[in-house]
């Protein structure tokens, strides 16, 4: 059997297995895929079995240990998707104890997959020193690769990298560009980060509202979107600053207190500390002391 005939057979068996899955006959699909993997050395067949166990598809009972076992069989045969999925299991403790060293090794083998999260996770391993020596420069390089490939989380992280100057020269314009790109691609956290960058600036370690009215107005709008669209609890606390100080909107201490109280009730530690500064007068009005 030549390579073309082999691929045609693999494709045919995979299609049959998918039909079984759609019919709720996941275990029959597993039998087909095991034979395909063992007889033809088709690595993805084992990775697909891993998916069935991991996602409980086609009537197959969820079993993270079995999923990892098949992902690793796929990885041993050189399947980058199997390597990524095995790394995911070791990173998160799915069916196994967390093991960053094994996760890192699998990620190195899985970076050729079409899943950009493999490159993102490899970047985080370098940046956080998980399973390898801490190397922010190499981490930033892989984060850039993942971001360029369209990974929204990596794009948001690139905004943080340029904002904070992590292994690169601090660059506000680049940070803003990456945050905007991340937001366009659905990164909810990036909206809050962009609001902070546009609306506030650090001077001698202290945070002050920017003097740029347009940036301040955009920051205000972004924070409202972060609340209404992203349900980001941090945005309540930051938005309260605008009402407390009369930035963009008229000063309204009662509104500021309302926002701080919402954030505090949702467990925001900064808001919980801020709430201690609000005092209620005999007339029912709030003041900040």
- Are 253 and 243 in contact by the 8 Å Cβ rule? The answer is yes
CB of 172 closer than 8 Å to CB of 197 = yes
Q: How far apart are the first and last CA of the chain?
A: 82
Determine how β-strand 286-288 pairs with β-strand 206-209: unpaired
Which one of 186, 202, 219 terminates a domain? 186
Tell me the CATH number at 96: 1.25.40.10
The per-residue pLDDT string of the chain (289 residues; one tens digit each, 9 = 90 and over) reads 566 777 888 888 899 999 999 999 999 999 999 999 998 889 999 999 999 999 999 999 999 999 999 999 999 999 999 999 999 999 999 999 999 999 999 999 888 778 899 999 999 999 999 999 999 999 999 999 999 999 999 999 999 999 999 999 999 999 999 999 999 999 999 999 999 999 988 766 667 888 889 999 999 999 999 999 999 999 999 999 999 999 999 999 999 999 999 999 999 999 999 999 999 988 889 999 9
Q: Which residues pair with 286 in a beta bridge?
A: 280
Do 257 and 177 reside in the same domain of the chain?
no
Report the C-alpha gap between 248 and 129 in whole angstroms: 42
CA distance 148 to 92: 25
Are 9 and 57 in a shared domain? yes
Domain count, the chain: 3
Show Cβ contacts of residue 115 under 8 Å, excluding neighbours closer than 6 positions: 81, 84
Do 24 and 55 lie in a common domain?
yes
Looking at 112, 137, 157, the residue that finishes a domain is 112
Domain that holds residue 169: 115-186
- At 114 the three-state DSSP class reads coil
The answer on 126 and 103 residing in a single domain is no
Residue 205 is predicted with a pLDDT of: 65
166 & 273 share domain: no
Q: What is the CATH number of the domain that holds 274?
A: 1.25.40
Q: Are residues 177 and 81 in the same domain?
A: no
CB 220 within 8 A of CB 227: no
* 2 and 107 together in one domain: yes
Residues 181 and 241 in one domain: no
Q: Which of 94, 112, 130 is the last residue of a domain?
A: 112
* DSSP character at residue 203: E
193 shares its domain with 174: no
pTM exceeds cut of 0.85: yes
């Amino acid at each position: 059997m030549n390579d073309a005939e082999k691929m045609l057979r693999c494709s045919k068996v995979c299609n049959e297995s998918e039909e079984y899955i759609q019919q709720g006959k996941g275990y029959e699909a597993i039998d087909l895929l095991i034979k395909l993997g063992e007889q033809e050395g088709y690595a993805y067949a084992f990775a697909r079995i891993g998916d069935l166990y991991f996602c409980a598809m086609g009537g197959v009972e969820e079993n993270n240990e079995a999923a990892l076992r098949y992902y690793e069989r796929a990885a041993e045969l050189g399947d980058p998707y199997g390597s990524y999925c095995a790394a995911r299991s070791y990173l998160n403790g799915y069916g196994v104890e967390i093991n960053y060293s094994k996760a890192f090794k699998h990620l190195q083998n899985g970076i050729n997959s079409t899943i950009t999260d493999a490159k993102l996770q490899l970047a985080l391993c370098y940046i956080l020193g998980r399973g390898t020596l801490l190397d922010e420069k190499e981490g930033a390089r892989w984060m850039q690769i993942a971001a360029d490939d369209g990974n929204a989380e990596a794009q948001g992280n690139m905004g943080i990298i340029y904002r904070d100057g992590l292994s690169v020269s601090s660059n506000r314009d680049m940070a803003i560009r990456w945050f905007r790109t991340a937001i366009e691609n659905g990164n909810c956290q990036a909206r809050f980060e962009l609001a902070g960058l546009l609306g506030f600036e650090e001077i001698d370690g202290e945070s002050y509202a920017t003097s740029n009215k347009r940036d301040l107005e955009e920051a205000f709008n972004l924070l409202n979107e972060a609340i209404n669209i992203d349900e980001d609890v941090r945005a309540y606390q930051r938005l309260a600053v605008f009402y407390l100080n009369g930035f963009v909107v008229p000063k309204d201490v009662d509104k500021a207190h309302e926002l701080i109280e919402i954030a505090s009730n949702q467990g925001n530690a900064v808001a919980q500390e801020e709430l201690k500064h609000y005092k209620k007068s005999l007339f029912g009005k709030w003041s900040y002391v």
